[in-house]
Amino acid sequence: MRTVIVFFLFVQLTYAQSDLKNLQGALASSTIMEKDLRELCDEIGGRVTGSEANEKSVEWGLQKFQEAGVMTWKQSFKVPVLWMEGASTFSISGDIEFDPLAVAKYQTAPGDYTGKLINVGMGSESEILKLEEQLKGNFALVSSELCLDIDGLFAEYTQAAKAEMALRKVGVKGIVFMASRPHKLLYRFIPTKVTENDLPQFIMAREDAQRCLRTLQADKELTFSTTVHAEIGGAFTSDNVLAEIEGTDLKEEIVIIGAHLDSWALGTGANDNGCNVTMLINIARQIKALGLKPRRTIRFALWNGEEQGYFGSWAYTKQNLTNMDEHKMAMSVDIGSGEIIGLFTNGREDLVEVMEDILSPLELDTSFALINVPIIGTDNFDFMLQGIPNLVAAHKPASYGVNYHASSDTYDKVDFKSLSKNSQLVGGLLWLYANADDDKINLPRHTRSEIQTMFEKTDTEFSMRMFNVWESWISAERGRK
Ligand SMILES: [Zn+2]
């Protein structure tokens, strides 16, 4: 009997290993992501949630899964407000006159605005308080460090949020942020109140903002004027695209992986996040084509409404509350096409141990890192608030940071060699997780108080406030009750 069991286990193990090898082999030799991404970025283009292009991308996603023979469906949800910028105009007058390049931040109300431009340096609270009287009813010019990589991005988000919070208190009419990117590159960014923003905010091309700054530093006076054009509206319906490979003996259990379909529309959303959309579609396609049957159900999510506050993934957790316990792991891939060099385990020490074990057959480089800090700002977030073990892929910076949300986030910036490698890693990881023995991935769903303790331990409140999600967690509007 014992020999039989050992033999049986051996057969099962080799079988699972050959499935893994076959899947990774198919992903390695596939070049279809290039074609898919060209369609998504070049033919459909930028995909702001609520736009026609975004709706086209939903149909495109459904069609891709259908063509692969993978079961797929739409999941509708509400986005609270619509905002899409049109052709806003900007001018500087006073001691010098020119028309700077600029864009409005999300939820800046359409209309005419004018006011003096006041230099507040990097926008620290002490700098702002010194200028309190001058700032009332005027525009603050906030300088920035050059941002060339992802670390620069985190620093920029933090600095901008702190400046905005301090400037709101002194009653400014609006804020002009110096763009952090070189060569007059413009990009879109959310304000701290996101959908509830009521303060006009702009990003001015770095070179133009520096021209203003030098002029102000020479004791000259400048007035900033703009006419903001934007299509706005109330709540509207958007859709996630879901697809799944049904499991076998543990099919009630779900391993979910997502990448967001929507983007801002200055560029065409290639690294953020079209590349990873095509990666997930291709993993599903190859699993199906090989006829592989995972033990647990693998669910693929092309999230929508991510950029405005991860509305699609939030809605998913709300609509799946009754089977949330069956979600054994939720993963997000949203940091471009640079090589994946680790995983964020989002404040769960127990998940670090599980992942070390799960990943071992993949024979990853010893430098592959499990980084146990909570990532706020993408679609893992509402799963974290539900206490579900969740992962976010950590990538080499590649060209992600400098092109982030910018007009330059286009197809040509995608590193397809890394994307292919990433697809083998992510496909392998998913396969191993979906087939693991129960005792290997036996992680409890965290309770509300365990989640709160994790936030306190990891000092996450400021990041959550920066993305306007702290209050909704505290009031239990969002997350586990
Ligand atoms: Zn993204």
User: Which among 423, 433, 432, 359 has a CA at the least distance from the CA of 389?
Assistant: 433
For residue range 286-304, list pLDDT tens digits in order: 999 999 999 999 999 999 9
Q: How far is the CA of 431 from the centre of ligand 1 (A)?
A: 24
Q: How far is the CA of 307 from the centre of ligand 1 (A)?
A: 7
Confidence grade of residue 399 (pLDDT, cut at 50, 70, 90): confident
pTM of the model: 0.94
Q: Mean pLDDT throughout 407-413?
A: 97
For residue range 445-455, list pLDDT tens digits in order: 999 999 999 99
Q: Mean pLDDT throughout 317-343?
A: 97
Instruction: Give the angle subtended at the CA of 161 by the CAs of 466 and 179, to the nearest 5°.
Output: 125
Q: How far is the CA of 400 from the centre of ligand 1 (A)?
A: 10
Q: Mean pLDDT throughout 422-430?
A: 98
Could you tell me the fold of the domain covering 85-230? Glucose Oxidase; domain 1 (3.50.30)
Q: How far is the CA of 257 from the centre of ligand 1 (A)?
A: 14
Q: How far is the CA of 271 from the centre of ligand 1 (A)?
A: 8
Cα separation, 149 vs 146, in Å, equals 9
Q: Mean pLDDT throughout 122-141?
A: 97
**Which residues have CB under 8 Å from 309's CB, separation 6+?**
190, 194, 195, 467, 468, 469
Confidence grade of residue 98 (pLDDT, cut at 50, 70, 90): very high
Q: For residue 283, what pLDDT is reported?
A: 98
Q: For residue 17, what pLDDT is reported?
A: 79
Q: How far is the CA of 308 from the centre of ligand 1 (A)?
A: 10
191 by DSSP, 3-state: which? coil
**Which residues have CB under 8 Å from 230's CB, separation 6+?**
83, 84, 85, 86, 88, 104, 108, 109, 110
DSSP 321: G
Residue with the larger pLDDT of the pair 15 and 189: 189
> What residue ranges in 122-167 does DSSP mark as E strands?
139-142
User: Is the predicted pLDDT of residue 183 greater than 90, yes or no?
Assistant: yes
Could you tell me the fold of the domain covering 22-80+235-474? Aminopeptidase (3.40.630)
User: Is the predicted pLDDT of residue 376 greater than 80, yes or no?
Assistant: yes
Q: For residue 151, what pLDDT is reported?
A: 83
Q: Domain ranges in the chain?
A: 22-80+235-474, 85-230
Q: For residue 352, what pLDDT is reported?
A: 98
Q: How far is the CA of 261 from the centre of ligand 1 (A)?
A: 9
Q: How far is the CA of 327 from the centre of ligand 1 (A)?
A: 22
Q: Mean pLDDT throughout 187-191?
A: 92
C-beta separation of 256 from 329 below 8 A: yes
Mean pLDDT taken over the chain: 95
Q: For residue 3, what pLDDT is reported?
A: 47
Confidence grade of residue 15 (pLDDT, cut at 50, 70, 90): low
- Enter the tokens of residue 311: 């509305």
Q: How far is the CA of 208 from the centre of ligand 1 (A)?
A: 27
User: Which among 367, 361, 360 has a CA at the least distance from the CA of 340?
Assistant: 367
3-state helix, strand, coil in the chain (%, to 5): 45, 20, 35
> Strand pairing partners for 370?
343
- Enter the tokens of residue 145: 């460090």
CA 295 to chain centre: 29
Q: How far is the CA of 82 from the centre of ligand 1 (A)?
A: 19
Q: For residue 170, what pLDDT is reported?
A: 97
